Amino acid sequence: MKPTEYSIESLLDRHGHAPDRLVQILREIQAQRLWLSRQTLSEVAHGLQLPLAHVEGVAGFYRFFHDRPVGQYRVLMSDNITDRMQGSEEMLRHLRHLLKVEPDTMRADGRVSVSTTSCTGMCDQGPAALINHNHLVTRLTPARVEHMAALIERQVPPGQWPADWSRVDDQIRLANVQLGVQPEPGVGIAAAMARGAQGMLDELKRSKLRGRGGAGYATGTKWQLCRNAKSDTHYVVCNADEGEPGTFKDRVLLTSYADTIFEGMTIAAFIVGAQQGLVYLRGEYRYLLEPLEALLQRRRTQGLLGNSIQGRAGFDFDIDIHVGAGAYVCGEESALIESLEGKRGTPRIRPPFPVERGYLNQPTTVNNVETFCAVTHIAVHTGSWWLGIGTPHSTGTKIHSVSGDCERPGLYEYPFGTRIGRILEDCGARDTQAVQVGGPSGVCLSAMEFNRRIGFEDVHTAGAFMVFDRSRDMFDVAHNFAQFFAHESCGFCTPCRVGTELVVRRMDKLKRGFGSSEDVQILYELDKLMHGATHCGLGATACNPLRDTIAKFRPAYEKHMKSLHFAPGFDMDAELSQSRLATGRDDNGAHLETLA
């Protein structure tokens, strides 16, 4: 079950004793030793000539690193709302009962620990669990959970569990240009080289392609800025962190369309003048590492990576893969860069933006997986072809990860401008109450809004499309999202660290039936406060689901306000006056600190 034993020294040698490899080094050591003891961290600190406090700080930041002993089997049950809708909470309780293990603790015999993780990216085939940070079990059922507990008790390695359990299907339900026929490897690069770097950049600008990672920044402009930035060294980074609950399109692209992604990265390198590319692969997709590395190797032998790509002297570019360690905030581009440099994934203060000073302080373009795929298609088919698809302000197609209450969850690719109602019809959704578009940080739409359209002009999305029928309690949905943000806040700035926690406490109180309309008012005020006071987008969007559901599904909250009785010892007035403090605003949010 454990990988081959090696000494820390030999591992550090393999990573060239480079401090920016720290996250990868810790990941590999933990895969062998199960957890990272102080002694281990000291050896690493010594070997990399880093302060121990720095190494401990990094080990303590990422959720997939353990600085205390954990079970030989580490089970992480996916805790997204779509997993819960399929019974994951009950299955988790059952698993813990069968294995006689308490939440978040190691069983006394050291055999097993069972916890939760925010979302494994398997929303179309959940509930899912991640075993030992490497093996996925999809489509969990109570019977599968019982069988899994028995295998753990018999110490059967996860690699020998039924193969069907770890089957991950692409589930492409509707393909348009990006999920359809792929260009042959090398054709996009050849087309870009024929145009020349500035010519290809102009083609990209003509296409009006906007980034698919969420912010929708114009790709051509971003690459022009990176190209113009003065330095001998530029980097291209593919953001494959895909941590937004409800999103799994990048997983499918990485599984079956990776040639197109790597081709797009190589075209980016040609334009901005980079010699090194990095893919930041989320820890939950660790199982894709070997196939992706094999593909990179194949592209090297095909002359599509390495020196003198396609025979062009001086066009040298290669790609390395960095595996994350369980931190949603690392999807934010500057936090991602910090993580690539082997540090805690704390978002940077910007400006300077990554295109000027990114990875190792050099000009860097960070783009989403889908953006790189789109670039390859544009290189092959031209910018005006892409411009002709979609709407004037939102060109091309968008891939949606559809999950929740529908008959056919999976990937659906549509030109921008497609109606929400059309997607619901296609995926077999019935009696739909709400759709969460763009994940918890996106927008919650009620049935009145199903005529709205996907696009930067209207419903903006990075790709998640979660469907809730009328049997669902929208308060529970918002509660799950609030827990997600509190869990994932990196803790760097007070308004987000404390604010997300206060939101959860208010929601918990409402859930227990102790809430009142004032609690709802306070939630609104927390939203206002956090929106303008946080350091990065995570905190700024953390209250979006709350605001939307309070405004559009008020009865779901009122249901929880009905019983205005109080638990013994519960002081409602004190609770409320404390919360009122939180509504005053100052620049550093220090008032919130007092409520922590």
The tokens for 99 are: 């294995």
The region of 348-356, 469-477, 535-543, 550-558 touching ligand SF4 under the rule CB under 6 A is 535-543
332 binds ligand FMN (CB under 6 A): yes
243 binds ligand FMN (CB under 6 A): yes
Binder of residue 493, out of ligand FMN, ligand SF4, none (CB less than 5 to 8 A by kind): ligand SF4
Which of 535, 553, 575, 589: binder of ligand SF4 (CB under 6 A)?
535
Distance CA 379, CA 199 (A): 11
323 binds ligand FMN (CB under 6 A): no
Q: What is the 3-state secondary structure (H, E, C) of 20-69?
A: HHHHHHHHHHHHHHCCCCHHHHHHHHHHHCCCHHHHHHHHHHCCCCCCCC
The region of 257-265, 349-357, 463-471, 488-496 touching ligand SF4 under the rule CB under 6 A is 488-496
Question: Between residues 8 and 215, which has the closer beta carbon with respect to ligand FMN?
Answer: 215
Question: Between residues 40 and 489, which has the closer beta carbon with respect to ligand SF4?
Answer: 489
Residue ranges of E strands in 405-504? 410-415, 432-437, 443-446, 464-469
253 binds ligand SF4 (CB under 6 A): no
119 binds ligand FMN (CB under 6 A): no
Collect all residues with Cβ–Cβ distance below 8 Å to 370 and sequence separation of at least 6.
Answer: 178, 212, 213, 249, 250, 253, 399, 463
212 binds ligand FMN (CB under 6 A): yes
Question: Between residues 215 and 447, which has the closer beta carbon with respect to ligand FMN?
Answer: 215
| CB of 302 closer than 8 Å to CB of 186 | yes
Which of 209, 292, 538, 561: binder of ligand SF4 (CB under 6 A)?
538
Which of 11, 175, 187, 215: binder of ligand FMN (CB under 6 A)?
215
* Rounded least distance, CB 366 to ligand FMN, Å: 5
| CB of 149 closer than 8 Å to CB of 98 | yes
Contact flags string 311-340 toward ligand SF4, x per CB under 6 A: ------------------x-----------
Which of 21, 27, 96, 497: binder of ligand SF4 (CB under 6 A)?
497
Binder of residue 261, out of ligand FMN, ligand SF4, none (CB less than 5 to 8 A by kind): none
224 binds ligand FMN (CB under 6 A): no
> How far is residue 272 from each of residues 258, 405, 561, measured CA to CA in Å?
21, 43, 56
241 binds ligand FMN (CB under 6 A): yes
Distance CA 93, CA 99 (A): 10
> How far is residue 435 from each of residues 291, 407, 424, 440, measured CA to CA in Å?
34, 15, 9, 11
Distance CA 337, CA 359 (A): 6
496 binds ligand SF4 (CB under 6 A): yes
Which of 347, 396, 415, 545: binder of ligand SF4 (CB under 6 A)?
347
| CB of 107 closer than 8 Å to CB of 115 | no
Distance CA 420, CA 422 (A): 5
Phi first, then psi: give them for residue 216, nearest 5 degrees. Answer: 70, 30
| CB of 80 closer than 8 Å to CB of 140 | no
**Site residues (CB under 6 A) for ligand FMN, limited to 420-459:** none
Which of 136, 389, 536, 543: binder of ligand SF4 (CB under 6 A)?
536
491 binds ligand SF4 (CB under 6 A): yes
Which of 368, 401, 480, 494: binder of ligand FMN (CB under 6 A)?
368
264 binds ligand FMN (CB under 6 A): no
Question: How large is the angle between the packed helices 197-207 and 187-195, nearest 10 degrees?
Answer: 110
366 binds ligand FMN (CB under 6 A): yes
Distance CA 65, CA 325 (A): 7
504 binds ligand SF4 (CB under 6 A): no
536 binds ligand FMN (CB under 6 A): yes
539 binds ligand SF4 (CB under 6 A): yes
Distance CA 57, CA 197 (A): 42
3-class secondary-structure state, position 79: coil
Which of 490, 507, 522, 556: binder of ligand SF4 (CB under 6 A)?
490
The region of 110-118, 391-399, 406-414, 486-494 touching ligand SF4 under the rule CB under 6 A is 486-494
441 binds ligand SF4 (CB under 6 A): no
Torsion angle, alpha carbons of 120, 122, 123, 125, to 10? -140
Which of 187, 225, 537, 576: binder of ligand FMN (CB under 6 A)?
537
End-to-end CA distance of the chain: give it in Å, rounded.
Answer: 42
Among residues 498, 522, 494, the alpha carbon closest in space to that of 510 is found at 522
| CB of 234 closer than 8 Å to CB of 226 | yes
The region of 239-247, 453-461, 463-471, 502-510 touching ligand FMN under the rule CB under 6 A is 239-247
* Rounded least distance, CB 235 to ligand SF4, Å: 23
Distance CA 130, CA 127 (A): 11
* Rounded least distance, CB 530 to ligand SF4, Å: 8
Question: Between residues 158 and 347, which has the closer beta carbon with respect to ligand FMN?
Answer: 347
Question: How large is the angle between the packed helices 517-533 and 572-581, nearest 10 degrees?
Answer: 20
Question: Between residues 66 and 497, which has the closer beta carbon with respect to ligand FMN?
Answer: 497
* Rounded least distance, CB 368 to ligand FMN, Å: 3
Among residues 380, 186, 190, the alpha carbon closest in space to that of 302 is found at 186
Residues that bind ligand SF4 (CB under 6 A): 329, 347, 489-493, 496-497, 534-536, 538-539
